[in-house]
A = this chain, B = another copy of it.
Amino acid sequence: MKLYSYWRSTTSYRVRAALNLKGVPYDTIPVDLVAGDQRRDDYAALNPGKGVPTLVLNNGTVLTQSMAILDYIDATWPEPALLPKDALRRARVLAAAHTVALDIHPINNLRLIGQLRSRFGATAEQTTDWMCYWMAQGFAAVETMVDPQSTFAFDESPDLADLCIVAQVYNARRWGLDLEPFPNVLRIETNALAVPAIAAAHPDQQPDAKVTT
C-alpha cells in the first residue's frame, strides 16, 4: 500500500497512526503541499480534492478523505478497534473526533490560509491569530466531550478521537497556542505519544520532514 502524505499534515498524521496501530505496512509517498505538488495533474487525478492523504491499496484502488480512509482501515483491519461497537459510545467518540476534523482542521489548513492571504491580505500575525482562535474554540468543546478519568479520550486504548486530537495538538504547538486551558487535551497528547505506533506517525519521524526553526 502507498500513502501519499505530507509530514506536517494533521490528516496524514491521523492515518499514519491508524495504520501503525493496526500493524499495516505502507510506503510513504511525500506530497509537498508547500511546493504545490497536490495541484499537479498526476496527483489531482488520484485525489480530486487536491489534498492529502491518499491511500492506494495494493490492487490500485484509490481512497481519499482522511476520515473515510480511517473508516475503511478500521473496517478492514478491525484490531485494535478505533471506534466502539455500541452506537451511542461510537457517536460520542465520533463527535469529539469531528470537533477536530470538521470544526478546526478545514478552517486552518494551508489552502484556506492561502485564501485569507490572497483575498484579504492577511498578515502572518493575522493568520496565526486565526488558527489559534479556531483551535481554542474547538479544544474548549473537546474538553467537555471527553472522559476526564480515562487514559485516552474515552477509554484505556487510543481511538479515533485520540488520533485526531494528538495530530491537532502538533499543529497547536507549531503555532504557539496556549494549551494550559485544555488539561484533557494535554493528557491525551502525552498518553498518545507514549504509544510507539502513534509516536512513529509524528511529523518529525517522516521521510519528508525538514529541519525548521
Residues of A at the B interface (CB closer than 8 Å) are: 48-51, 61, 63-65, 67-69, 71-72, 75-76, 87-88, 90-92, 94-95, 97-99, 101-103, 105-107, 112, 115-116, 119-122, 126, 129-130, 133, 138, 140-141, 144-145
Contacts and interface: CB of A to CB of B under 8 A. Distances in A.
A71 B98 CA distance: 12
8 contacts: A51-B103, A63-B88, A65-B99, A72-B90, A75-B87, A102-B105, A115-B130, A120-B121
Contacts of A49: 99, 103, 138, 141
A76 to B, nearest CB: 5
Contacts of A105: 102
**Interface residue SS majority, chain A:** helix
Nearest to A122: B120
Contacts of A116: 120
A126 B122 CA distance: 14
A144 B72 CA distance: 20
- Copies of the polypeptide in the assembly: 2
A68 B98 contact: yes
Contacts of A144: 48
Contacts of A115: 130, 133
A67 B140 CA distance: 20
A55 to B, nearest CB: 9
A168 to B, nearest CB: 14
A163 B90 CA distance: 21
Nearest to A85: B75
A107 B112 contact: yes
A49 B144 CA distance: 10
